[in-house]
Homo-oligomer: A and B are copies of this chain.
Amino acid sequence: MGIHLIADLLGVDPKKISKVKVVKKILDRVVAKSGLRSISSSFHQFKPHGVSAVYLLRESHLSVHTWPEYGYVALDIFACGDDESALKAYDMLIDEFRPEVIERNVLRRDLYERVKRADSP
């Protein structure tokens, strides 16, 4: 059904991930260029720094949570029916955030297809 890219990034420049204004600019650009289709987006500014951002997409969602004090970003891109745009957005975000360490998991959220296949004669 969908691809879910789950990535934890370390060693990101705190200046890039401290404020909603900066993060929003990056994410708006990446979502627009990736081919993902944004429905709405919401943001929260943590004090003194740190950002949460979630984009509702036609394809599902994209979220970013940041801890500038650790140079840490938790990134999720969940896209149904469009692996290519999801992977493009992921690559663009890595280019933007330039982490020193990346831990990435890719989940296939295709339980429906698997159960259907198992049921068919």
Contact = CB atoms under 8 A, between A and B. Distances in A.
Interface string A35-47: 0000110111000
Interface stretch (A23-31, A65-73, A88-96): A65-73
Q: Is the interface of A mostly helix, strand, loop or mixed?
A: strand
Nearest to A103: B111
Q: How many copies does the complex hold?
A: 2
A77 B3 CA distance: 17
A78 interface: yes
Nearest to A11: B115
Contact of A61 (B4, B10, B52, B107): B52
Contacts of A43: 56
Nearest to A2: B74
